[in-house]
C-alpha cells in the first residue's frame, strides 16, 4: 500500500470521526474494512475477511457489516458496539483468571 493510499485511508477515518463528533447518526457513517482494520479494530483486513466467513473475530463473534453491491462496509455504530462489548481487565492475571473460568464453565 502506497503512502498516498495510507493518507487517503487516514483522511477517510478522520472525516468519519469528525462527522460523528458533529452529531451525525453513527448508523449513517459507513467505512470500508481497510479503514476499520487495523485502525479501529486490532486485526488486519485479511483477518476481517476470514471473520466474515466464519463469524468469529479475535475469539468472539465479529462486528456486523453491510454489503453495498460487491463492497463491504462497517457502520461506525456497529464498530463501537463491538469494541464496547469486549471485556476489559485491570491486569493480565485478571484476564487469565477470567479466561480460565470461562473455559472451565
Domain boundaries, the chain: 3-104
Residues in CB range of 9: below 8 A, 6 or more apart: 34, 35, 39
Nearest to 80 by CA among 31, 11, 14, 9: 31
> What's residue 9's pLDDT?
93
pLDDT one-digit tens code per residue, 46-95: 999 999 999 999 989 999 999 999 999 999 999 999 999 987 778 888 77
Entry pTM: 0.81
pLDDT one-digit tens code per residue, 88-100: 778 888 777 766 6
pLDDT one-digit tens code per residue, 3-22: 888 999 999 999 999 999 99
Amino acid at each position: 500500500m502506497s503512502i498516498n493510499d495510507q493518507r487517503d485511508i487516514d483522511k477517510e477515518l478522520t472525516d468519519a470521526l469528525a462527522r460523528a463528533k458533529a452529531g451525525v447518526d453513527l448508523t449513517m457513517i459507513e467505512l470500508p474494512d481497510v479503514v476499520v482494520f487495523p485502525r479501529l479494530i486490532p486485526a488486519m483486513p485479511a483477518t476481517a475477511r476470514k471473520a466474515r466467513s466464519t463469524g468469529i473475530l479475535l475469539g468472539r463473534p465479529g462486528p456486523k457489516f453491510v454489503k453495498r453491491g460487491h463492497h463491504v462496509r462497517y457502520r461506525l455504530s456497529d464498530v463501537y458496539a463491538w469494541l464496547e462489548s469486549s471485556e476489559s481487565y485491570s491486569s493480565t492475571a485478571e484476564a487469565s483468571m477470567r479466561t480460565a473460568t470461562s473455559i472451565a464453565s
